[in-house]
């Protein structure tokens, strides 16, 4: 049963929440922490091996960077907030959202490379200066961009609701208070239909999401890029930054799958006619959550 499968997505998410609430994540956290240290050590090892010209070192660096990307993205992160917010809020197809996640991760790596080579290589910044600019300028700007994505989702949800109310007023005028006719009319003619929603993934949406995510550089990538540049093995660092991006993409794509799954699960549990009416609410609430989380991050980066 497709519907049962969809609702399972919702149940899965509930279980995650319970696990989190009961402290079940503490064990996971210890594991991630140990993993993080392990990865840092392996990363240092790979960089040293490249520097010492040992064979196989480049592949070792790519693989550890990929792992680093996965581990790092598995913690709290802004990319997941944006992707899950958008995935919950809009009826975006799974493939589109996955491609956006992938594109955003690659763009984020490209921004890190451009930032480090413009700052450190061209302008001669020290490592501290580069991290300072990243933390004090790039991070707040990136967070504001994410906040903007949230506001934009809320605004669109609000507009969707406005349209519904306009339609309702229109229907009330024509049909008096017969609820059955009213519902049918709303669902079939004037209300934003599910098909309408599906078509709304425009290039503008894609650009906003990718920029929103990519502007906030990943500290790990900056770190690696600067270190490898200092050691005179910059090309390996650039390749490593993109390998980290691939790792991050794996996680954000999983988040995209989860958010689409749970959104469809929740929608599947609603009667068919109310789906179209529920969507703007989803968008509003998801947008609101993105804004709240972005503002929390903002207070932390300032």
Residues in contact with other proteins by CB under 8 A are: 10, 13-14, 16-17, 20, 23, 25-26, 29-30, 33, 36-37, 40-41, 43-45, 47-48, 51-52, 74-77, 80-81, 84, 88, 126-127, 219, 223, 227, 230-231, 255, 258-259, 262-263, 265-266, 269-270, 278, 281-282, 285-286, 289, 293, 296, 299-300
* Residue 215, phi then psi, degrees to nearest 5: -65, -25
Residue 99, token pair as written in the block: 């491609």
Half-sphere exposure of 278 (CA within 13 A, CB side): 15
Shortest distance in whole angstroms from residue 174 CB to other proteins: 29
Shortest distance in whole angstroms from residue 267 CB to other proteins: 8
Q: Give 122-183 as a DSSP string.
A: IS---HHHHHHHIIIIIHHHHHHHHHHHHHHHHHHHHHHHHHHHHHHHHHHHHHTT-HHHHH
Closer by beta carbon to other proteins, 175 or else 239: 239
Closer by beta carbon to other proteins, 136 or else 296: 296
Q: Are 158 and 180 in contact (CB under 8 A)?
A: no
List, in order, residues 6 or more apart from 218 with CB less than 8 Å away: 69, 72, 108, 109, 112, 244, 248
Shortest distance in whole angstroms from residue 33 CB to other proteins: 6
Shortest distance in whole angstroms from residue 20 CB to other proteins: 6
Closer by beta carbon to other proteins, 185 or else 249: 249
Closer by beta carbon to other proteins, 6 or else 167: 6
Q: Are 45 and 88 in contact (CB under 8 A)?
A: no
Shortest distance in whole angstroms from residue 28 CB to other proteins: 8
Closer by beta carbon to other proteins, 136 or else 230: 230
Q: Give 17-52 as a DSSP string.
A: HHHHHTTTHHHHHHHHHHHHHHHHHHHHHHHHHHHT
Closer by beta carbon to other proteins, 185 or else 216: 216
Sign, CA dihedral 30-36-39-40, equals negative
Shortest distance in whole angstroms from residue 173 CB to other proteins: 29
């Amino acid at each position: 049963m497709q519907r049962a499968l969809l609702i399972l997505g919702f149940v899965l998410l509930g279980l995650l929440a319970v696990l989190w609430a009961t402290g079940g994540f503490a064990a996971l956290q210890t594991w991630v922490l140990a993993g993080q240290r392990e990865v840092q050590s392996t990363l240092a090892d790979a960089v040293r091996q490249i520097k010492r010209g040992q064979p196989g070192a480049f592949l070792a660096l790519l693989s550890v960077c990929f792992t680093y990307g996965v581990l790092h993205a598995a913690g709290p992160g802004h990319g997941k907030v944006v992707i899950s917010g958008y995935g919950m809020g809009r009826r975006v197809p799974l493939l589109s959202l996955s491609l956006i996640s992938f594109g955003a991760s690659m763009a984020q790596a490209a921004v890190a490379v451009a930032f480090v080579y413009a700052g450190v290589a061209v302008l001669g910044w020290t490592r501290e200066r580069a991290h300072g600019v990243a933390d004090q300028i790039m991070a707040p700007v990136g967070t504001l961009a994410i906040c903007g994505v949230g506001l934009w989702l809320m605004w669109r949800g609000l507009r969707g609701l406005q349209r519904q109310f306009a339609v309702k007023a229109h229907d009330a005028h024509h049909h008096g208070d017969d609820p059955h006719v009213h519902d049918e009319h709303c669902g079939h003619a004037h209300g934003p239909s599910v098909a309408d929603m599906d078509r709304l993934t425009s290039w503008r949406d894609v650009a906003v999401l990718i920029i929103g995510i990519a502007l906030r550089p990943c500290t790990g990538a900056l770190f690696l890029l600067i270190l490898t540049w200092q050691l005179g093995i910059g090309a390996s660092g650039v390749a490593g930054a993109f390998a980290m991006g691939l790792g991050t993409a794996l996680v954000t794509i999983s988040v995209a799958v989860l958010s689409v799954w749970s959104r469809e699960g929740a929608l599947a549990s609603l009667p068919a006619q109310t789906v179209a009416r529920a969507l703007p609410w989803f968008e509003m609430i998801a947008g609101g959550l993105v804004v709240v989380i972005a503002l929390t991050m903002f207070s932390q980066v300032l």
